[in-house]
């Protein structure tokens, strides 16, 4: 018998390998096929294994639930489904939205007595890079693989994923210290432009993957919010280069 399960918490190929190894170790499990992009596992068993037993075999990082097949004959309130999905997505994006709110608030407070849009944008971009690079550095080993799932350059050049958090840190310091700002703005347009291409393709393909913008410490889904945060930085960089 073969069953399909949803598994949350997987962010890279290392996670995929770990899940497959743990589940394959169970006596009644004959084969495990994990689809990282879909967050699913297809498990072939010689006899039924409970979901609880499967969960106990996995690390606390992962959560496994049996995938519910859609029944076209079952009655349901279809109008309520989009609202539930939106609520779930909003809850998952809460850490990202809070971080951006605090960064924006700090940037405003730094200049509220002597307001200047250019100074506000430079500090916003600087704090943005510093904070986001901090979360990436919490898991320098896992971040490159997660990042390469959607960034075109990291996919072709793995070393880029390893140095990316350090690039962000350097850019953050350049903006905050007002050091070679024009160069930092050009680099911002290049690296975020490349990432945005990958994000856009992922969204158009409707792939369900984790966003690595805050590293792997926070389980954020790839959504339009990722595109918007990149677009804000790109627009600010263009404005700073033209004013």
Residue 169 to residue 166: CA distance in whole angstroms: 5
Angle made by CA atoms 36, 135, 172, in degrees to the nearest 5: 125
Average pLDDT over residues 39-45: 89
Give the model confidence (pLDDT) of 117-169 as tens digits. 999 999 999 999 999 999 999 888 888 888 888 999 999 999 999 999 999 99
- Confidence tier at 46 by pLDDT (50, 70, 90): confident
Domains of the chain: 2-66 (3.30.70.100), 82-242 (no CATH)
Residue 117 to residue 127: CA distance in whole angstroms: 15
Residue 126 to residue 178: CA distance in whole angstroms: 9
- pTM of the predicted model, to two decimals? 0.64
- Confidence tier at 80 by pLDDT (50, 70, 90): very low
Those residues whose C-beta lies under 8 Å from the C-beta of residue 44, and which sit 6 or more positions away, are 1, 2, 29, 30, 31, 32
Q: Does the pLDDT value for residue 68 go beyond 80?
A: no
Higher-pLDDT residue of 206, 200: 200
The burial of 84, by beta-carbon neighbours within 10 Å (0-12 exposed, 13-18 middle, 19 or more buried), is given as exposed
Q: Residue 7 belongs to what H/E stretch?
A: strand 2-8
Query: Residues of the chain with pLDDT > 90: what percent?
Result: 42
| pLDDT value of position 240 | 93
């Amino acid at each position: 018998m073969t069953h399909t399960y949803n598994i949350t918490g997987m962010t890279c190929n290392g996670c995929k390998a770990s899940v497959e190894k743990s589940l394959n170790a169970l006596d009644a499990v004959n084969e495990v096929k994990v689809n990282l992009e879909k967050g699913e596992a297809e498990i072939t068993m010689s006899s039924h294994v409970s979901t609880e037993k499967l969960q106990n075999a996995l690390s606390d990082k992962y959560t496994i639930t049996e995938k519910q097949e859609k029944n076209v004959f079952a009655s349901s309130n279809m109008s309520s489904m989009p609202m539930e999905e939106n609520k779930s997505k909003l809850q998952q994006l809460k850490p990202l939205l809070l971080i951006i709110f605090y960064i924006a608030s700090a940037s405003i407070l730094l200049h509220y007595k002597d307001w200047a849009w250019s100074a506000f944008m430079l500090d916003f971009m600087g704090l943005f890079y510093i904070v986001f690079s901090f979360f990436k550095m919490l898991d320098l080993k896992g971040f490159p693989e997660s990042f390469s799932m959607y960034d075109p350059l990291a996919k072709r050049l793995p070393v880029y994923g390893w140095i990316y958090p350090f690039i962000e840190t350097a850019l953050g310091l350049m903006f905050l210290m007002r050091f070679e700002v024009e160069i930092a703005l050009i680099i911002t347009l290049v690296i975020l432009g490349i990432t945005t291409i990958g994000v856009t393709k992922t969204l158009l393909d409707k792939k369900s993957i984790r966003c690595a913008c805050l590293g792997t410490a926070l389980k954020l889904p790839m959504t339009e919010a990722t595109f918007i945060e990149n677009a804000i930085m790109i627009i600010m960089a263009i404005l700073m280069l033209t004013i």
